[in-house]
Amino acid sequence: MEGRSQGSETTAMGHGRPVWSARATFAVVLGLVLASGAAWAQDGDGWPSAFDLLASGPELGGGDVPRAAPPRRGANASGVPPEVMARVLTEEGPRPVPMASAAESGPVVAPDAETDDAPGPAGRRVSAPRTRLVEDAPRPPFKAVPVVVAVVPGLVLHGLGAWTAGDGQTARGLFVAEATGLGLLAAGVVPLALTGASRRTVGPLYAVALTGAGVFSLSMLANLYAVISPAFDPGQVPDTLPPLEFDLGYQYVHDVSADYRNFFALGAVARLSAVRLEASARLAPDDGNTLIRAGAAYRLWGAPERTPGLGDGTALEVEGFATYHRYPTEGFTLGGGEVALRGRYAMERFGPRFMGSFVEGSVGLSLQGYSYPGRVDDDNLYGQLLYTFGYGVWLGRGGPLKGEAVLFYDHRKDGLVGGMRGRGGGVVGSFGARGRVLLTERWGVAAEAQVGGALMGRVSLLYAVGGDT
C-alpha cells in the first residue's frame, strides 16, 4: 500500500494477521529462492528467475506458472522447481507470496482456489477481488508513561509522547508540523494586526491564519493518538459504502436569541463512482424555522465514493451547495450558494502509529443574501470565508460495521449554531464532534454535538439501501 512507513514499528493492517503456518511456508519458499543465488534477477539470456515465476502467479495478477521452465545457464542449482511453486500457488488455504521486500511488505493472503474465479456473463470467468496486504511485524507496545508526557507537557511541545516511547521519527514529524502551524499562524495574524484587518487583505490572511491554527491543532491531536493507538486495534477504511443512505432523527438547539429549540433532522446521501449527492433539512415544528441544504461533490483524486477500500482513504474533491434558511418569527429569509475544496489524508502515511486515523479540511467561499419585508439596503448581499478542519478515526474492522468519528472546527458564522465571540471582540467559528456507523447491513446511527454561538445536539437513525454493504 502506498505510504506504508518502514521501521521497527511497522504495524499490522488489513483484515487480520497471517497465521504461523503461512509464515513457515513463506520462510521455506523464500529460503529456496535465496538459495538459488541469482534467483532475484534474470540472467543474460532473459530466462525467468524463481522470483519472476512466483510474482507472475495468479495472486499477483499474472498468468499460470509454467510447469517446465528451461534451466538457467551457468547455474548448478535448479533453484525452486516449478512443481513446488505451482503447488504453493494452487493449494487451498492462505498462501504467502513474497513482495518487493518481505520485511517491509509481508505476505499477501490469496483467495481460496475454489472462489478465485467465478462464472461471469456468457460463461466467462471473472477473477475475484484481490485481498489486502497484511503486515507481519508486531504492533508497537503500549506504554503508560508516554501517554502522560503527551498531555503534560506534550500538548505544548507536540511529539514528546512519541519521543518518550522511543519513536524518534514520529516525534520529529510532529515537531515539524507544530512549528509549521505556528509559523503559518504568525504569518496570518501579524499582517492582520498591522493592517487593521483591511477588507482588501483580510480574506487571504485569515485563510493563512486558520491553516496555521488547523495544522497546530491537528498535530496536537495526532500527538495524543500516536501514544494511545497501540492500546487497541485500529479501525480500517470501509471496503464499500451503500449507494443510498437516509437518516431521520432529532436535533436540539439552544440559542438565547431565538425561540426555536426542537427540530426534525432529515438527510439523504447518494454515492456514485466519482459523485456524491447530499441533501438535508432541519424543521422546527413549534417555530417554523426551516433550514434546507442540497448539493453535490465531485471526487478529483482518490478511490471512488462507493469503494473507498480500494485506497487508504486519502481523497480530494470539489463541492457545491445551495442553502435556504427561513426565519418566520424574525421575519426574514437567508439563501445563497457555496463552493469549497475538501480533502482527507490518511495519517498512516505519516507513520505506522497513526494507522486507523485521518485528518480532513476544507476551504471555500459562500455568497448569501437576505430577503425581508420593507426597504432593501445595499448590504443585503455578503460573502463569507468557509473553513473546516478535523481529526478522525475509522470505525469497524471489516464486516457490516463501518463508519467514522471526527473532532472538528467549523468557521461558518451563519446557520443554527453560528460562531462564538472571542476575547478580543472578534467572532470565531464553532467546535464539535460527529460520528456515523452502520451497525448492520442496513441500519446504523449518527450523532453530532457542536458548541458555538449556540449549543446543538443531534441523534439520527440511518438506513442504507442497495449495494454490497
How many CB atoms are closer than 10 A to CB 389? 22
Supply the pLDDT for residue 10: 37
The CATH class of the 236-465 domain is: mainly beta
Supply the pLDDT for residue 41: 37
Sign of CA dihedral 417, 423, 425, 428: negative
Contact status, residue 185 vs residue 212, Cβ threshold 8 Å? yes
Rounded Cα distance between 9 and 67, Å, is: 40
Supply the pLDDT for residue 421: 78
pLDDT in tens, the chain (469 residues): 333 333 333 333 333 433 344 444 444 444 443 444 433 333 344 444 444 433 444 333 333 333 343 443 444 444 445 544 445 444 554 444 444 444 444 444 444 433 444 444 444 333 333 334 344 446 788 999 999 999 999 999 999 999 999 999 999 999 999 999 999 999 999 998 888 888 888 888 988 999 999 999 999 999 999 999 999 999 999 999 999 999 999 999 999 989 899 999 999 999 999 999 999 999 999 889 999 999 999 999 999 999 999 999 999 999 999 999 999 988 889 999 999 999 999 999 988 899 999 999 999 999 998 887 766 555 577 888 999 999 999 999 888 899 999 999 999 988 899 888 776 667 789 999 999 999 999 999 999 999 999 999 999 999 999 866 4
Rounded Cα distance between 441 and 313, Å, is: 21
Contact status, residue 410 vs residue 213, Cβ threshold 8 Å? no
Domain ranges in the chain? 20-127, 144-230, 236-465
Distances (CA, A) of 139 to 8, 12, 14, 258, 341: 9, 6, 13, 51, 35
Rounded Cα distance between 158 and 178, Å, is: 7
Supply the pLDDT for residue 469: 41
How many CB atoms are closer than 10 A to CB 206? 17
Rounded Cα distance between 94 and 99, Å, is: 15
User: Is the pTM value of this prediction over 0.75?
Assistant: no
Nearest to 137 by CA among 18, 15, 309: 18
Three-state SS annotation for 339-375: EEEEEEEEHHHCCHHHCCEEEEEEEEEEEEEEECCCC
C-alpha cell at 4: 506504508
Residues 6+ apart with CB under 8 A from 101: none
Longest dimension (CA), the chain: 98
